[in-house]
Amino acid sequence: MEAKKDYESLVERLEEIAHLSSVIGILHWDQEVIMPAGGADSRARQMSALAGVLHEKETDSRLGELIERLHGLGPADFTPVEWCNIREVKRAYDEEKRVPKELVREMADLRSRGHGVWVRARENNRFEEFSPVLEKWVRLKTRWAEAAYPHLPPYDALIDHYERGMTMASLTPMFERMKTRLVRLIRRVREQDEPPDSSFLQGNFPVNVQEQLGRRISADLGFSFAEGRIDVSVHPFCGGGDPTDVRITTRYRTDNFIESLYAVIHETGHGLYEQGRMKEERHRPASESLSMGIHESQSLFWERMIAQNRYFSSHYLKTFQETFPESFAGVSADRLYRAINQVQPGFIRVEADEVTYPLHVILRYELEKGLFDGSVAVADLPGVWKEKMGEYLGIQPPTDTLGVLQDVHWSGGDFGYFPSYTLGALYACQFYQALKKELPGLENDIAEGNFSRIKGWLNQKIHRQGKLFSPEDLVERVTGRPPDEEGFVRYLEEKYSDLYSLRQG
Amino acid sequence: MEAKKDYESLVERLEEIAHLSSVIGILHWDQEVIMPAGGADSRARQMSALAGVLHEKETDSRLGELIERLHGLGPADFTPVEWCNIREVKRAYDEEKRVPKELVREMADLRSRGHGVWVRARENNRFEEFSPVLEKWVRLKTRWAEAAYPHLPPYDALIDHYERGMTMASLTPMFERMKTRLVRLIRRVREQDEPPDSSFLQGNFPVNVQEQLGRRISADLGFSFAEGRIDVSVHPFCGGGDPTDVRITTRYRTDNFIESLYAVIHETGHGLYEQGRMKEERHRPASESLSMGIHESQSLFWERMIAQNRYFSSHYLKTFQETFPESFAGVSADRLYRAINQVQPGFIRVEADEVTYPLHVILRYELEKGLFDGSVAVADLPGVWKEKMGEYLGIQPPTDTLGVLQDVHWSGGDFGYFPSYTLGALYACQFYQALKKELPGLENDIAEGNFSRIKGWLNQKIHRQGKLFSPEDLVERVTGRPPDEEGFVRYLEEKYSDLYSLRQG
C-alpha cells in the first residue's frame, strides 16, 4: 500500500522531469530551425533557467528519499517496467549526487567556451589554440569519471555514459579485428581502377521537389507526420519534445539530392525509434531510448541496410525517374545501386561511406583511449592522426582542419561517444540479418516498397523495449547472439567484393 | 549595502521568472504555428509543468521576504526603474497570495473545459449548452475579484487586470458619449447609397507574393527580422519569447490580400512595441508592456492611423500595382484609400471597421457590467445581444453563433478585456494627433514611406516607458491630456464625413 503510494509519487516527479526535459528538446529544435539570430542570448538564458529548474527537481532530497525507499524493497514487488523506472532514476540520482557541483559548473563553462575556441581553431587551422581546451577537458573528464564511477577506469566510465556496459576490454579486440579486415578490404577496393559511374547523381534538383520526395519516402518507411515534422537545419538531426512530436531535419543542395534524401532516411530511422516507444510509459525513463549505439542502429538500419540495399534501388528507381526525368533517363536499378554504394577514402568522417566509416571511428577511439591512459599527449594528436589516417585509409589530411580539428565532439568534452557510431552500424547489420531469417520475403517487401512488417518488427523488438535491457542483452535477445563484428565485416566484404568485382583473397 | 544585495537577489529571481515565462511564449507560438496535431496532449503537459514551476518561483516565501524588505525601504533609495520593479513584483506577489489556491485550480479547470464547451455550442448554435459555463465563470470571477482586490467592485477589479486604474466610473460616461455619436454617424453612412468601389481588392493573389509583400512592408515600418519572424497561424497574433525574438503571424487567402496584409501591419505594431522595450531592463517587470489597451494602441496606430491613412495609400499604390498588376491596373490612390476604409455594420467584431468596432465593444461592456452587478442574467444574454445590435448597428444576428457565441473570451473567463480594444483605438488616435503636432511633415514622411521618425517617437515615448506610469498617466505625458473620446470620435466623424460625402449634420 505504502509502496504503491510511493511509486505513484515517484512517477509524478519523473513525469514532471520528463515534461520539462522535453521543453528543452523543443527549444533546442527551435534554436536550430526557427529562432532569429538576435534571440541567441535570450535563448541561452532560457535554457540555463530550465536546466537549473531540472537540476533542482532531479536532486530534490524528497525524490532521493522516495528512491531509497522503493529501491530498498527490491524488484519482487514491482513489474519489470516499474523496476526499470526505479533503477534508472536511482542511477541518475546517485550519479548526480556523486559529482561535485563545482566540477559540474567547470564543465558547463568549458563546454560553452570550448565551442567558440574550437570553431576559430578549425577555421584558422590552428590546433595549438584548441589544445589547452583539450588538456583541460581530459583533466575534468577524468575527475568526473573518478567521482561518478570510481570502480571503472576513466575512459570506460565515459564510454559507459553513452553505451552502458561497454568497455575497452570488449571494444579493443573487436575494433582490432575489424581494422585488420577493413584496411585489407579498402586496399583491394582502391586497387580496382574502375569506380562506379555516379555522374547522373549530379544535376539540378529543385528544393521543393526534393522536399516532396523526402516526405514521401519518409512516410513510406512509416514516419507519422501527425506526430512529427521535417524541416531544414544546418546539420541534419532528430529532435523535438515527445514521441508524439518528433522533429527531423535535413538540408538541401540543388546539385545533389541523394545527400539530402539519405539524411532524411537516416533521421527517419531515429524518428521511428522515438515514435515507436512504449505508449503507456511515454514520460518515464523505462520508455526512453536505450543508448546512443542503439539509436544509431535505428538510423543506420534504414539508411544503410534498407536504403543502400539493391532492392530499395530497384523499387525507387521509377520514382526517381518520374521525379527527376532528365537525370535518370536510361539509368538502371543496378547502376543506381552501384552509384550509391561507392567506397572512397576521405578525410571527413561525416562524409564517409559504410566501409571506411569504422576506421574513422577506430582512429578516434584509439586516440581517446590514449589520452585517458596517458599514452597519447594532446600535443601529439595532430601527428598521430595523420599517421593513422595514412595507415588505415591510405591518405593524409593536408591540414588539421581536415584532420584532428574536424569534429565538434571534443570541444564539448564528449569523449567516449565515437564508438557508438560503429556499434550502431554493427547492431544495425546484426538486426537486419536476424530479421532476414525471421521474415521470409523481406527482400520482396523492400522491392515492393512495403515497409510495414519491417517497421513493426523494429517497434516490437527494439523501440518498445525501452531501457528494460542493456544494449548487449537487447542485441542478444533480438538476434540470438551478443554483438560481434564478424557478421558486420563479412557483410561488408561480401557486398563490396561483389560491387567491385574483387577476386577472392 | 544590504539593500543593494537584496535588490540584486530580487533581480536574479525576477529574471529567472522572466526566462521561464518566455519559454511559455515560445511553446505557445510553436503550438499555434508548428506543432504536429499529435503533440497536443504532450504540449498541454509541458505547459502545465512549466506553469507549476513558475507558480513555485512566483510564490516562493524567500521572494516574499525580499519584496517586503525592499518595499519597506520606500522609493527614495531606488531609481524610478528599480522602484517600478519592486512595486510590480509586490503587486503580483500579493495578488497571488490573496487568491485561494483552490479557486485558482477551479478557474484553471473551467478554463480548459470551458473552451471545448464553447467550441461545440458555437458550432451547434446552442447557447444553452454554454450558459452553465458562463454562470460558473461569473461566480468564480466574482470570488476572484473579492479575494484579489476587495476594495474594488468585482467588474472594476476585472477591468483593472487588463487596464490598470480604469474603472466603470470612467468608462461608462465615455462609452455613452461615444455610442450616441457613433450610432448617429453610422446611420448617416448607411443612408448613403453609394458604397465605395472595392471590387479590385478581390482577385487572385498568390500566397508567396503576399508573403514577400507583407515582409517588405513590415520591414519598412521598422520590424527587425534579425529579432523576429512572420509565420502563418489560424488566427494572427504576436508572440514569441523575448524582445529579441518577436514572432508575428498572419493567414492568407488567395482571393484577398488586404486582410492578410493589414493583419501583418497590425501585428507589426504589437511587434514593434515588444522589440522597442528598454534594453537594460529587458527581463524585469519595469520593461514589460504596460497594459492591453496600450498594446492594442500600438497595433491600431500602425493599422489604422498609418496604414488606413490617405498618404499610406498614395505611397504604396505603386508597390501594389507592381505586385498585382492585373488587379491594380488603373486604380488611383484615392480609390484605394476609399476601398480600404469602408464602413459596413456586420455581426462579427473581428471583421468590423474602425467606425462600427467600438459599438461591438460597448455592447459587450454593457453586458459584462450587467452580469457582475446582477442587472443582466446569463439567460438573457442572447436576447439583449440581439436587441442592442439592432439599436447600435441596425442589424440583428440570425443566430447566436453569429451573436453572443462568437468570441472566445468568455469561455476562458476573460471578462473586462473587451474595453481594451476600444481604449487602444482611442489612445492610438490621441497619440497620432500628438505626433502630428510634434513632428512637422509627418504626412510627408508617410507619403514617402519613411517611417523611422514615427517609430523612433513611439520607441521613446511609449515602448521604452515600460510600466513606469499608469496607462492614463502615460497618455497624458505623451499627449498633454488624459485619454478622452472626443478627439477619437471627431477624427471618425471628419474622416468618414469626407469619405462618404456626408452633409454636415
> In tens digits, what is the pLDDT along chain B, a chain of 505 residues?
789 999 999 999 999 999 999 999 999 999 999 999 999 999 999 999 999 999 999 999 999 999 999 999 999 999 999 999 999 999 999 999 999 999 999 999 999 899 999 999 999 999 999 999 999 999 999 999 999 999 999 999 999 999 999 999 999 999 999 999 999 999 999 998 788 889 999 999 999 999 999 999 999 999 999 999 999 999 999 999 899 999 999 999 999 999 999 999 999 999 999 999 999 899 999 999 999 999 999 999 999 999 999 999 999 999 999 999 999 999 999 999 999 999 999 999 999 999 999 999 999 999 999 999 999 999 999 999 999 999 999 999 999 999 999 999 999 999 999 999 999 999 999 999 999 999 999 999 999 999 999 999 999 999 999 999 999 999 999 999 999 999 999 999 999 999 999 876 5
Strand pairing category for B245-250 and B238-242: antiparallel
Number of domains in chain B: 1
Q: Is residue A6 part of a domain?
A: yes
Listed by number, the residues of chain B in 219-278 with a beta carbon closer than 8 Å to a beta carbon of chain A are 224-229, 241-242, 244-245
User: In chain A, what residues touch B16 (CB-CB under 8 Å)?
Assistant: 49, 52
Give the pLDDT band (50/70/90) at residue A265: very high
User: What local confidence, expressed as pLDDT, does residue A216 receive?
Assistant: 98
Write down the pLDDT at residue B383: 97
Q: Which of A309, A313, A311, A305 is nearest to A200 (CA)?
A: A313
Residue B420 in any domain: the answer is no
Give the helix/strand (H/E) hosting A239. Answer: strand A238-242
Catalytic residue among A58, A82, A163, A267: A267
Residues of chain B with C-beta less than 8 angstroms from the C-beta of A27: 23, 26
Of the residues B29, B31, B46, B249, the best mutation for testing chain A's interface (the one with the most A CB atoms within 10 Å of its CB) is: B46
Residues in chain A with CB shorter than 8 Å from the CB of B43 are 241-242, 245
Q: Do A42 and B15 touch (CB under 8 A)?
A: no
Intra-chain end-to-end CA distance of chain A, in Å: 67
Task: Report whether pLDDT(A50) > 70.
Answer: yes
Q: Residues A223-252: pLDDT tens digits? A: 999 999 999 999 999 999 899 999 999 999
- Grid cell locating A105: 559548473
pLDDT of residue B196: 86
Query: Could you tell me the pLDDT band of residue A196, with boundaries at 50, 70 and 90?
Result: confident
Report if residue A58 sits inside a domain. yes
- Contact list, A43 vs chain B (CB under 8 Å): 241, 245
The pLDDT, as a whole number, for residue A504 is 65
Per-residue pLDDT averaged across A210-230, rounded?
Answer: 98
Cα B164 to Cα A35, B91, B337, B420, B464: the distances in Å are: 33, 12, 36, 11, 18
Whether complex ipTM tops 0.90: yes
Own/partner contacts of B79-83, CB < 8 Å, gap of 24 or more, are B80/B468, B81/B278, B81/B281, B81/B286, B81/B466, B81/B468, B82/B7, B82/B286
What DSSP character marks residue B277?
S
Q: How many residues does chain A have?
A: 505
Q: Which amino acid is at B467?
A: K
Residue A70 lies in a domain: yes
Confidence of residue A177 (pLDDT cuts 50, 70, 90): very high
What amino acid occupies position B455? K
Does residue A95 sit within a domain?
yes
Tens-place pLDDT, residues B255-313:
999 999 999 999 999 999 999 999 989 999 999 999 999 999 999 999 999 999 999 99
Q: How far apart are CA B260 and CA B268, in angstroms?
A: 12
* Residue A460 included in any domain: no
* Coil, strand or helix at A62: helix
Sheet with strand A245-250: strands edge to edge: A228-232, A245-250, A238-242
Phi-psi region for residue A263, left (φ > 0), alpha (ψ -120 to 50) or beta? alpha
Active site residues of B: 267
Is residue B368 situated within a structural domain?
no
Residue in A43, A49, A224 closest to B20 by CB: A49
**Inter-helix orientation angle A127-148/A357-373, to 10°:** 70
CB contact under 8 A, A37 and B241: no
Per DSSP, chain B holds a count of helices (H) and strands (E) of 21, 3
Consecutive H or E run containing B250: strand B245-250
pLDDT, tens only, A415-471: 999 999 999 999 999 999 999 999 999 999 999 999 999 999 999 999 999 999 999
C-alpha span between A491 and A431 (Å, rounded): 12
C-beta atoms of A38 and B241 within 8 A: no
Q: A451 with A218: CB under 8 angstroms? A: no
Q: How many CA atoms lie within 13 A of B142 on its CB side?
A: 13
B12 assigned to some structural domain: yes
Please list, in sequence order, all residues whose beta carbon lies within 8 angstroms of the beta carbon of residue B393, skipping any fewer than 6 positions away. Answer: B186, B345, B346, B356, B359
A195 band by pLDDT with thresholds 50, 70 and 90: confident
Whether B181 contacts B489, CB under 8 Å: yes
For residue A194, what pLDDT is reported?
Answer: 81
- The predicted model gives A6-13 an average pLDDT of 97
Look up the domain containing B49 and give its range. Answer: 2-98
